[in-house]
Structure 1
């Protein structure tokens, strides 16, 4: 599975779990951090944790290595590091505040 397919799988899992406003940014020409950011939000801390838990379960079943998950307990901004794909699962309020799409405004949005 290539990196874009992993990002697409992540977006699909999040969509199935009812994440809001899912955006996949192609940042490979802008940064060495990762190739793709997948960004979404939930409307409550419970939903943010449910999104992260479902994503973790799906990735483990697909044998996709998770480097790190941070922010799960606070459930305000959960970061799931898959190496070349970094997933940002925000609480709605934090997503509006940090506005990663604006910060990475030069990135192209992937389908």
Structure 2
């Protein structure tokens, strides 16, 4: 049994929800965060996701992000991810997800992306 996936949320000014993902976003990790993520993306119009603590990003993990992004974007909200590791960034790029979800360097950039 490896590291468990953790999801931490913090409310920021301007109704922005910061979601921090920590651990491997593999099949098990995606299974753990899928439900809470669906709930969050159903409730919040501005969601920024800190990927710095994600040690491994599998395609099923990307699906969780995409599903949440679609829910938020469907209400004209903003869904932004930031701080992915080099490996995670490669995965995001190779799947073309970065054309649908803004991927930025840090929290400051993610917050300004929400203001657009």
Specify the TM-score bucket, using the shorter chain as the normaliser.
0.3 to 0.5
TM-score (norm 2): 0.33
Q: Determine which structure has greater relative contact order: mean sequence separation of CA pairs < 8 Å that are 6+ residues apart, divided by chain length.
A: 1
TM-score (norm 1): 0.34
Between structures 1 and 2, the one with greater helix share: 2
